[in-house]
Amino acid sequence: MLFLSLAAIGKLDVTGPHGARRAGPPLVVHAEVQAAIDAGEPVVALESTIITHGMPYPDNLHTARAVEEAVREAGAVPATVALLDGVCHVGLATEELTRLAQLGRERVAKCSRRDLAAVMARRGHGATTVSATMLLAHLAGVPVFVTGGIGGVHRGGEASMDVSADLTELSRTPVCVVCAGVKSILDIPRTLEVLETNGVAVAALGARLPSARASEFPAFFTRSSGCAAPLTVANPHEAAALVHASRSLGLSSGTLVAVPIPAKAEAEAGAVQAAIEAALGEAEVAGVQGRELTPYLLARV
């Protein structure tokens, strides 16, 4: 994983639960997260959809804690983002993280940017996707967000217009998103085209093609996607310089840094592709589409 420490954006005030501080009524920043922001220390935002919609309790809680611990071991402060009782949280206390994991998908809405206001209005619970996590992290002054894989253009998206809100958010929110690439179930070439059209800087971290000068863009389950990455950064320092230059220019777009999955954890590309094709066929027969399609396909794969 890659962690960057950048200057805080503004000051937050008004004390909330657990010593947290509020940026107006709807956004609560955990005290530890706020202290790190104020001190210019590294903070890493984490999404919460994987907690509520990715696996059952208590496996989801164990995973969430393990991810936060990995961030701490790397020298940064984790800030898991979620909504509880209609309040947006950037950083969760132990009991809040536990409560979110126990509530699960039946009682927690999956929230992208468009869903935040609705969940807040009904004082509900929400697990943030990439787009919502980016937005709330930016509002709190957290400039880096780590996730597994981003959404993109769905296969057949040229006809269905099924394009993830993640791509639009990357075009308008200046947060650095570090991930393992675009989910393999998606149309990766078209996803990269949309990111280019929207002016998003996309870089792969040191993933060189065996027989070419270009860098390969990773595909979540695998290190290879068959697509050349638009940019290459050899190490975290080069990635940080890219983000710093973008902020210096005052660009409103985010930066996407794709870190290939470790070789020892990589899936066999042919097996993954076969599983994807089978899952796509099953989804069509079952009539699964829209926001339910990605979790369905990932579960089937």
User: Which range (42-46, 59-63, 119-123, 271-275) has the least confidence?
Assistant: 271-275
pLDDT at 4: 38
More confident site: 159 or 161: 161
pLDDT at 285: 75
| Whether residue 196 lies in the annotated active site | no
| Whether residue 47 lies in the annotated active site | yes
Which pTM does this prediction carry? 0.83
Catalytic residue (one of 47, 96, 169, 216): 47
pLDDT at 276: 67
% of the chain residues with pLDDT over 70: 81
Task: For residue 73, name the pLDDT band (cuts at 50, 70, 90).
Answer: very high
Q: Which domains does the chain have, with CATH numbers?
A: 24-147 (3.40.1790.10), 149-300 (3.40.1790.10)
Our measurement of the distance from residue 86's CA atom to the centroid of its chain's CA atoms, rounded to an integer in Å, reads 21
Reduced to 3 states (helix: H, G, I; strand: E, B; else coil), residue 247 is: helix
Question: What DSSP string describes 22-89?
Answer: ESSTTEEE-HHHHHHHHHT--EEEE-SHHHHHSS-TTHHHHHHHHHHHHHHHTT-EEEEEEEETTEEE
**Contact by Cβ (8 Å): 44, 3:** yes
Catalytic residue (one of 96, 110, 183, 216): 183
Residues 6+ apart with CB under 8 A from 95: none
Tokens of 206: 């040191």
For the chain, the average pLDDT equals 86
- Per-residue pLDDT reduced to its tens digit, 109-134: 999 999 999 999 999 999 999 999 99
